[in-house]
Amino acid sequence: MTSDSSNPSQAAHGKFISFEGIDGAGKSTHIGFVAGLLEAHGKSVVSSREPGGTPLGEALRDVLLHQKMHLETEALLMFASRREHMAQVIEPALARGDWVISDRFTDASFAYQGGGRGLDLAKLEALEHWVHPQLQPDLTLLFDVPLDVARTRLDATRTLDKFEQEQTVFFANCRTEYLRRAAQFPQRIVVVDSTRSIEETRRTLTAIVEKLLEL
Ligand code: TYD
């Protein structure tokens, strides 16, 4: 962020970008590219992920991705990981003036625990208000692809974790909730058509990120 002499209290703050999308949408392919773009503009970048991002968060991630549990337990542990991540990583980095890139944040809880598992969205809203009443990403990049494309990409690349083993209807509901959030928060969430080539997507990302750098 360029220094803003009209608002000195904001001047030191970096910006927060989250990456979202259903499993197989391709977000991981582009995280390093966006980090590189920011660094090329002189920003100090902290790249992290959820669930995870701290030693406790990574321990929770291991449990969350491999053990079956009640859907409310799952939501609570996601937000526990997030609380720690904010305290230890996100807030200190932003206060130092670093830019933070997080591979997933609260929109993923709405999409997966809300859309996918069917948890009452009001409960997720309550957790969101509890854990981060003020903070939201400055920009959320939502990588969007049809379900069959996501499934083909997933099957081609790896051993599937607990979420990735879910059925098509689960991901259809996750995607619907992601797109509902994008419509609800159009200033923050940009939907990126991730069916295109990596090069085309990179051009789109460059334009989006350069706009954010100018703000
Ligand atoms: P993912 O970014 O897909 O990790 P990887 O690319 O290494 O597989 O994230 C792990 C999973 O966690 C993903 O399937 C979505 C899920 N998840 C939730 O269900 N709720 C959440 O709040 C978050 C942050 C992630």
Q: Answer for the pair 100, 94: CB distance below 8 angstroms, yes or no.
A: yes
pLDDT tens profile 98-128: 999 999 999 999 999 999 999 999 999 999 9
Per-residue pLDDT, 208: 97
φ and ψ at 186, to 5 degrees? -65, -25
Which of 27, 104, 131 for mutating ligand 1's site (highest number of atoms within 8 Å of CB)?
Answer: 104
| Cα–ligand 1 centroid distance for 4 (angstroms) | 35
Q: Is 100 helix (H, G, I), strand (E, B) or coil?
A: strand
pLDDT tens profile 3-56: 444 444 445 579 999 999 999 999 999 999 999 999 999 999 999 999 999 999
Edge-first strand order for the sheet with 139-144 is 45-49, 99-103, 16-20, 139-144, 189-193
Q: Answer for the pair 93, 85: CB distance below 8 angstroms, yes or no.
A: no
| Cα–ligand 1 centroid distance for 197 (angstroms) | 23
Cα separation, 6 vs 9, whole angstroms? 9
Cα separation, 24 vs 43, whole angstroms? 29
Per-residue pLDDT, 43: 97
| Cα–ligand 1 centroid distance for 50 (angstroms) | 7
- Closest atom of ligand 1 to CA, residue 104: 24
The backbone region for 24, taken as left when phi is positive above 0, alpha when psi lies in -120 to 50, beta otherwise, is left
| Gyration radius from the chain CA atoms | 17
Give the residue, 129 or 154, on which the prediction is more confident.
129
Q: Whose CA is nearest to atom 6 of ligand 1?
A: 28
Q: Tell me the one-letter amino acid at 82.
A: R
Instruction: Report the pocket of ligand 1 as residue ranges, CB < 6 Å.
Output: 23, 28, 50-51, 65, 78, 103-104, 108-109, 112-113, 161, 163-164
The alpha carbon of residue 41 and the mean position of all alpha carbons in its chain are separated, in whole angstroms, by 22
Question: Model pTM?
Answer: 0.93
User: Mean pLDDT for the chain?
Assistant: 93
